[in-house]
Structure 1
Amino acid sequence: MRLLYAAALAAMLSASADAAPIRLEGGHYVTQLQVNGGDAFDFVIDTAASASAFSPGFVERLGLQPVPGMTAHVHGAAGIETVPLYRLDRLSGPDLELTSVIAAVMPGVASDRPTAGVLGVNTFQQSRIVFDFEAMTFETGASGAGAQGFQALAATRLRAGLVAVDVQVNGVPVKAVVDTGARRTIGNPALMAALGVSADDSRLAPAPDVGGATSHRIPSQVMEGATVALGGRDFGDLRLHFSDLPVFRALGAGDQPMLILGTDVWSQLSALAIDYPRNEVQVRFR
């Protein structure tokens, strides 16, 4: 999960009638975009990144130079860093056309990572976006009611343009951030407390540290067999991680339970749509 506040970003988006192919790689949904009309690179479509960003390896490969006098505060899941901004003339794909793209670099991403960067929600704020997990396509379009078979869920707008929906975890109500850039589902300490789980609970096991766009890492624990209820459907036998991530406070959770709902859950749907102007998440079950 990556929460990115860029100091500046200029991008013009146009949508075509063609859906873009996607694939699930490393727990992220990836699409290919042409850079300045030339080679195609993999970009993660990240609904929990407020702004688009580039990986260090992509910046090095293209020999991009920082925009003079421009920096950004990158709020990753685990911490904050100040980084330079870079400019690209054009990013294009079957369903996207971005021009004059100014984006931060992600200091926590290894230089040899295969993806070139992330597409953040600033790209889609005026659109309805659709992930079709059966056809493995992604498309953008005009705001409007979901197609037949979609169930509409009211969404809460969080800081930096992110959205959350109401779910239940083992029967406990919680706000869940819609995060297609997270490979695992993570709850905050307030959710642990609401579930009656203590830090030394025998149901918990050590788990890999949680990172993100910055170089910070935060310890985590995992509990097996959790159930998430979304739109009247239960998604059971879930590996639920817990971590005291700064991003929860940045999103205004305070002492309230909050969940980052990752692709381990979303990929179990037939399709997921987010209509930003309508403040609506639309789901289609298998």
Structure 2
Amino acid sequence: MRLISTMALSCLLFSSYAESSVPLTPAGNGHWVLPASVNGQATVPFILDTGSDGSYVYDSFARQKGLKAGAPIRVEGMTGAARMPTYRLDSITVDGRTIRGVDVAGLPARKDAEIVAGVTGNDLMDGAIAIFDFPCRTVSLLPKPVSMHPILTKDAVMIQAGTVIDGTQLTLPVTVNGTAGVAVLDTGSRGTQINSAFARAAHLQVDGPSFRRGETLYGAASDAMETREGSVKEVAFAGRKVSGLTIRVADLPVFKSFGFGSGPAMILGINAMMEQRLVYDHKAKRFWFDHSRCKAPTQATASVLQ
């Protein structure tokens, strides 16, 4: 009898369903970008961000393309708020999905060397199923309506998401070392951040030797915020466990605007999702974590919590 490897069997199980996709590539400092066409022109690197209400371009891209600045608007980022110029785009297209007549804000220059032209968020993904297959390094956007049955495996875990007070972001329950909190699902965040209330509840010794001075966060408003950084034994969400995840501890102003109050709160970034396949239905306020098409299920990356 011929034997079939676990990885080969995994590929066979998925072979009956095919979808177009675009590649995810590293931007240089932790973000992952995909090709987006702006105003029907050649593709440029954009972040596809579940943590963003709308779309943005960086000032350098706006200058390069000669975009005319409009009236400024108030933009709230992770570390604070600022007034930023607006630009009118004819269109943004990702994986064949197009939004037209888009008013975007202009983000200030990044503090690092990442190569990113802009960000598009829930405005583009509304009306579609977005599939982030992180191990495959691909993203697919399937226009709705679409049957979920051929997309998901039997082990997919669905989250009927919560919402935030100020924004279109979706939330899910998480635990850190067994302590419960609420997290915002954020594919536009390079890392995972928790507030000090979560750190205290999880008995993390933030000022001890297991934590160190972390990266300074700037957010869209470019307001600097210092962090403490260290790894935790276990972060669990949607039936998955991630061991040894690096997190940053900071009382980010955005937690207040989300309406989390003084409770344990988290921004669940892509460093927590890199072994997963995220199937995201923003309009229906639900998403699934599932097995990747490029990675056989393992106890470490896809264990179901009892």
TM-score scaled to structure 1, two decimals? 0.86
Deviations 1:161-200 (A, max 9, x none): 1011111110001111111111111101110121123553
Which amino acid in 2 is paired with 1:184? G
Question: Equivalent residue of 1:191, what SS?
Answer: helix
Deviations 1:223-278 (A, max 9, x none): 22331112222110111210111011111111111111111111121x10111233
Which residue is equivalent to 1:71? 72
Q: Matched residues in 2 for 1:111 and 1:28: separation?
A: 11
Which residue is equivalent to 2:302? none
CA contact (8 A) 1:166 1:176 kept: yes
Q: Matched residues in 1 for 2:232 and 2:205: separation?
A: 16
Which consecutive unaligned segments of at least 5 residues does structure 2 have?
1-18, 292-296, 298-306
Residue 20 of structure 2 corresponds to residue 18 of structure 1: yes
CA contact (8 A) 1:108 1:213 kept: no
Which amino acid in 1 is paired with 2:37? Q
Of 182, 194, 214, 2:221 maps to 214
CA contact (8 A) 2:228 2:248 kept: yes
Residue 261 of structure 2 corresponds to residue 254 of structure 1: yes
Which residue is equivalent to 1:233? 240
RMSD: 2.0
Which residue is equivalent to 1:148? 152
Of 36, 42, 45, 1:42 maps to 45
CA contact (8 A) 1:74 1:106 kept: no
**Range that drifts further, 86-95 or 245-254:** 86-95
Which consecutive unaligned segments of at least 5 residues does structure 1 have?
1-16
Which amino acid in 2 is paired with 1:190? A
Which residue is equivalent to 1:284? 290
Shift of 1:209: 1.0
Which residue is equivalent to 1:9? none
CA contact (8 A) 2:95 2:141 kept: no
Q: Where is the strand percentage greater, Structure 1 or Structure 2?
A: 1
Which residue is equivalent to 2:249? 242
Residue 125 of structure 2 corresponds to residue 118 of structure 1: no
Which residue is equivalent to 1:273? 279
Q: Identity over the aligned pairs, expressed in percent? A: 26
Which residue is equivalent to 2:59? 56
Q: Matched residues in 2 for 1:180 and 1:220: separation?
A: 20
Describe the shift of the 1:30–1:172 C-alpha distance in structure 2 as closer, same or farther (beyond 3 A): same
Q: After TM superposition, where is structure 1 displaced by more than 4 Å over at least 4 residues in a row? A: 110-113
TM-score scaled to structure 2, two decimals? 0.81
Count matched residues.
267
Residue 136 of structure 2 corresponds to residue 135 of structure 1: yes
Which residue is equivalent to 1:181? 188
Q: Matched residues in 2 for 1:97 and 1:221: separation?
A: 40
Q: Matched residues in 1 for 2:105 and 2:270: separation?
A: 24
Q: Matched residues in 1 for 2:209 and 2:112: separation?
A: 38
